[in-house]
Amino acid sequence: GDSVTQMEGPVTLSEEAFLTINCTYTATGYPSLFWYVQYPGEGLQLLLKATKADDKGSNKGFEATYRKETTSFHLEKGSVQVSDSAVYFCALSDRVTNAGKSTFGDGTTLTVKP
């Protein structure tokens, strides 16, 4: 079945540091890929997405590129801020095995210190 593996956390960075959160996936078909962010006490919200190979999703300074050859969708940001402290989830939705569902990674907690 489909699966998503994320870099284990927690991740602690200083403000203005470079961020990478690794995400790899296995899927039967041709998935769409997503990064969601969850701020403390809130539900998940979409951060960015990519629907086909080599697409780059971007939002709020975050970027991720859909790499089919390495089955990866790593999240990056050049300069993190304290306000980026949150839990980040990688997810996929597979058009072959989808049945209306998404597969989520376990989440990576990011803490940014001033």
| Residue with smaller CB distance to other proteins, 42 or 54 | 42
Q: Which is nearer to other proteins, 19 or 89 (CB)?
A: 89
**Residue number, 34 or 74, with CB nearest to other proteins:** 34
Residue 65-94 contact track with other proteins, rule CB under 8 A, x = bound: ------------------------x---x-
- In sequence order, the 6+-apart residues with CB closer than 8 A to the CB of 95 are 29, 30, 31, 32
Sign of the Cα torsion 102, 105, 106, 111 reads negative
Interactions with other proteins, residue window 91-110 (CB under 8 A): 93, 95, 98-102, 104-107
Tell me, residue by residue from 25 to 64, as one string, x for binding to other proteins by CB under 8 A and - for no binding: -------x-x-x----xxxxxx--x---------------
**Paired tokens of 100:** 């209306």
CA 89 to chain CA centroid, nearest Å: 5
CA triple 108-113-114, angle to 5 deg: 150
Nearer to other proteins, 17 or 22 (CB): 22
The residues facing 88 across adjacent strands are: 37, 108
Cis omega (within 30 of 0) for bond into 40: no
Would you tell me which residues interact with other proteins (CB under 8 A)? 32, 34, 36, 41-46, 49, 89, 93, 95, 98-102, 104-107
